[in-house]
A and B are shown apart, each in its own frame.
Chain A
Amino acid sequence: MTSALSGIVFMFSGFVFKNKRHLNILSVLLFVVMIVSAVFQLKGCEIMSGKYPNMIETDPYRISFFIILCLIGIYYSLVNRYNFSKPGSKVSDYFALIFISFTGIAVLASFNNLILMFLGIEILSIPLYALAGAAKHKMKSTEAAVKYFLMGAFSTGIMLMGVTLIYGASGSFLLENITAYSFDFQSIYYLGWVMLILSLCFKVSVAPMHFWAPDVYDGTPTGFSSNMITIVKGAGFMTFITVLSAFKITSGIVADNYQYLLSFLIILTLILGNFSALKQTSVKRMLAYSSVVQAGFMMFALFQINEESQNALLFYTLSYGLSSIVLFYALTKVKNEYKDFHGLSKRAPVLAFACTVALLSLAGIPFTSGFLAKFMILSSAMHIPSNLILVIAALILAVLSIYYYIKVIIAMYFRNSNKKKIKLSFTTQFLLVLGTALNIALGVYPNLLWMVLDCISK
């Protein structure tokens, strides 16, 4: 609710506020309002939660996920505050689009019904198609927008087909009715279920449905691809885990098939993502492929959906968000190629340090939140003994990913360059250090996150 209002407020705010700074403050305020309203919903406040039977429910896990996404959103909009005006057009338009996509996330955080899920995903995606094409005069950006739109429409079609088939078999869109319906290998219901999984794979860019992702993330103006990679992907996974948890797998053969399907998707994602990222010469493209790899890791949470894996997914999203936002911010300051990063440790020590911690976090080195995120998410899949091979394969492939991450570190610290120094404002440096400190704090004491969430919900 509030998020939709924020979007509308921003659409018109362009007339009122001419100053960018005011818009930034407004955006942070609106994010805070969204968080507060989410907290009220969590506490069961009547006015906020509303009464829409069979449409909206209050699920504490998803609401806290939404709150975390909002927090990442605040960090994102603060760090990137000067980048919104880069693509050209009015800043308020972009903010409006971002807030409308947050409306979609809010819907996804509370749907109870497959129709509403579909609506949520559409509301989330459509503003992003526009954001992808924000740099109108650039060929690459336009290409990204078209590609994203076509692929998005295609996957939506598959999703609708899946929903229809499920409706045909079970006679209901409601998640609880679907949970009650025990399905079999033969029924069309099964087909619908697979289609739903595949279409959601499109949204979170898991192989073999990942081909759009590198081009789109690369072509989109850097400030916005950081949003797509962190927040939107997190929302996608939130939907994924909710939808899948609604399906109770009762028959053995379906369970086996599910496990094979998931293992296949994961291993394919990791191999394709890692080997493609290895060859890139552009850091931005490398990060785009690495986001595919990270999505592969996040898929591990789906093997067995319980509180543990849900929490692991939440933690992973937060950790990945913190690291990616810093790295993409660095991309806006430096150019995209590896060689542009040369000597960054001398040119902008704070930025280089923040990037190093972010990269180590993505690589999964202890004392950063990335390590615990990997640890949690892999351990949640470990309840099935045969997954040991999969986990070890994933970890060995992670060594490859470390190779391309440390290539950036090598460029920043071990190579020299005589380019100009990069000046960062004090606030930006403070924000970067804050994000890094948070990253390390979560890596040392993960209970911090649960403590904060507990505090909010009580």
Chain B
Amino acid sequence: MLLSLLIILPLLAGLGLTVIKHNRSLGFVGTGVSIYLLIYTLFLLFTKTPVDLSIRFDWFELGGVKTNIALSLTGLGAAMVLLTNLVYAILFIYFYTVKKNYSNTFYGLLLLAYAGLNGVFLAQDLVLFYFFWEIVLIPIYFLIGIWGNKKTRISANTTFFLYTILGSMLMLGGIIFIGFQLKPESFLITDVMKVTADFGNLTTLAWLFLIAFAIKIPLFPMHSWQPAVYKTSPTPVTVILSALMAKMGLFAVVNWLLNLFPQICSQFDNVLYIVGFGLIYASLIALTTNNIKKIIAYSSVAHLALIFMSLYSQSDTGILGGYFQMFSHGIVVLGLWLSVDYMERKYKITDLKSIGGLAKADPAFAVFFTFFGLANVALPLTSSFIGEFMMLNALYAYNPILCVMGCAGVILSAAYTLRMSTAILFGEQKNIKEEKIKFPTILYVIFGIISLIILVLGIYPTIVFNLLQN
């Protein structure tokens, strides 16, 4: 019962904000809900036993196969729920305080996506999971369509929607096959695992699920929707897309693909080579493009590809490292996108060439931006270092070629990140009118918190590891 609050509260608040017409901005409702849920999640994780943290009801029955409303807060799911609530809380505080005039509907739709995300990470039933998986898409679709960049929003948004729906439809085909051909007792993950373990060759089925998840992550060659969408969507949505929705795909790989089709792991070697190629390819594009949003988007593609590879490295270190990196990447990317939003708002730039010498005028921001950049590169003492070290280590043991690909990606990531920060922060001053810019206090706090989390996890990663292992 405790868990359903994580879904119901944002759902109700979101519906309320979407429907009610009110002239004053009601963004504080969203902020309140997210902060409350963050504290609530922490409270649940640290005071409750695993027995309290799962619920199960019967839902409906179809052809002798039951579906359940089954939620559970354990392992990676717990870490992801924590990440969701953390990201949402910081996001809402940031956008509420910088007073961008988003309407109430905007906050309402964000909250609806929030409910869906929490649902995806909690669901233990295949059909319920599919419900949440799809429902996240709808508010995001409207958010991009209504508030996105005027020029490209319709084309980018349509591509995004159709691409992801295509993946979902393939997954739906897989679900129907599992349910009505293999006939498990119910769609509960444990029951489904039983039948898929008994059944022989399920490669086709595994591919159906893999494509669906790969589109969401996105992995090369299904990534083509992503940069355009990241560029088009308003920043809060971009943050959700890259920090949380990409994690949905990876989480689904861990929780569903690896659990349901463990025997197929070893057949995916070729897939890993393609993903590795995609990693280098995305890094190279990030190195050559001048659009800041695009650089971060492609950097995201590269990092997620590395995580995906390590999940298939078949060693505990690699998988644990992958989990950790999923958490850490969410936080780092949040910092980077908020920095981009700050620059866009303050200096109206989206391009590397149009700005320079920001370090002199705005030193405080420069420090934070450099720090996030270094975290993106996975410098020791930042949280990314722990994850990447473990992942590369495991990949080396599994297949040295993949490890070389991964390392190349890491080196390239240093190159493009440093190129970006150098171009923005140093050199001649361009497009900056004032001499000294006052960095708002509230942003000190927000960026400070994000940096602190990155630093603490980099020095003392056990917090997250404990969470992952219980």
Show the binding face of A for B, using Cβ within 8 Å.
Answer: 308, 360, 365-367, 371, 375-376, 378-380, 382-383, 385, 388, 391-392, 395-396, 398-399, 402-403, 406, 410, 413-414, 445-447
Contact = CB atoms under 8 A, between A and B. Distances in A.
Contacts of A360: 138
A398 B165 CA distance: 9
Interface of B: 59-60, 62-63, 127, 130-131, 134-135, 138, 142, 145-146, 153-154, 157-158, 161-162, 165-166, 169-170, 172-173, 176-177, 179-181, 204, 208
- Which 3 pairs across A and B sit closest by C-beta, in order of nearness? A382-B180, A395-B169, A366-B131
Contacts of A378: 176
The winner among A366, A367, A396, A398 for most chain B CB atoms within 10 A is A366
Given A366-B130, A366-B134, A388-B181, A414 B154 contact: yes
Contacts of A396: 166, 169-170
B229 to A, nearest CB: 15
B360 to A, nearest CB: 42
Contacts of A379: 62-63, 176, 179-180
Contacts of B161: 402, 406
16 contacts: A375-B127, A375-B176, A379-B176, A382-B176, A382-B177, A388-B177, A388-B181, A395-B169, A396-B170, A398-B169, A399-B162, A399-B166, A403-B158, A413-B146, A414-B145, A414-B154
Contacts of B134: 365-367, 371
Contact of A391 (B135, B145, B157, B173): B173
The winner among A379, A383, A413 for most chain B CB atoms within 10 A is A379
Nearest to B175: A375
A399 B180 contact: no
Contacts of B208: 392
B169 A399 contact: yes
A382 B135 contact: no
A433 to B, nearest CB: 10
B161 to A, nearest CB: 6
Contact of B60 (A367, A399, A447): A447
B347 to A, nearest CB: 28
Contacts of A371: 134
A396 B170 CA distance: 7
A380 B162 contact: no
A366 B154 CA distance: 23
B181 A382 contact: yes
Contacts of B135: 365-367
A403 B127 CA distance: 24
Contact of A399 (B146, B165, B179, B204): B165
Nearest to A410: B154
B145 A413 contact: yes
Contacts of B179: 379, 382
Contacts of B162: 399, 402-403
A216 to B, nearest CB: 30
B170 A395 contact: yes
A446 B60 contact: yes
Nearest to B142: A413
Given A366-B135, A382-B181, A447-B60, A395 B173 contact: yes
Contacts of A410: 145, 154, 158
A399 to B, nearest CB: 5
Contacts of A383: 180-181
Nearest to A349: B21
A378 B62 CA distance: 11
A406 B62 contact: no
Given A399-B166, A402-B162, A375 B146 contact: no
B179 to A, nearest CB: 6
B153 to A, nearest CB: 7
A104 B5 CA distance: 50
B181 A365 contact: no
The winner among A395, A403, A445 for most chain B CB atoms within 10 A is A395
B343 to A, nearest CB: 27
Contacts of B181: 382-383, 385, 388
A402 B60 contact: no
A406 B142 contact: no
A365 B138 contact: yes
Contacts of A382: 176-177, 179-181
Given A382-B177, A406-B158, A445-B60, 10 more contacts: A308-B63, A366-B135, A383-B180, A391-B176, A399-B162, A399-B169, A402-B161, A413-B142, A414-B145, A446-B60
A308 B62 contact: yes
A414 B59 CA distance: 36
Nearest to A360: B138
B165 A402 contact: yes
A210 B421 CA distance: 62
The winner among A365, A371, A383 for most chain B CB atoms within 10 A is A365
A315 B358 CA distance: 62
Contacts of B157: 414
A392 B170 contact: yes
A349 to B, nearest CB: 9
A375 B65 CA distance: 13
Contacts of A366: 130-131, 134-135
B173 A380 contact: no
Contacts of B146: 413-414
Contacts of A376: 62
A388 B177 CA distance: 7
Contacts of A446: 60
A231 B169 CA distance: 28
A146 to B, nearest CB: 39
Contacts of B170: 392, 395-396
Nearest to A450: B60
B62 A392 contact: no
Contacts of B153: 414
A410 B142 CA distance: 9
A396 B62 CA distance: 23
Given A366-B135, A376-B62, A395 B172 contact: yes
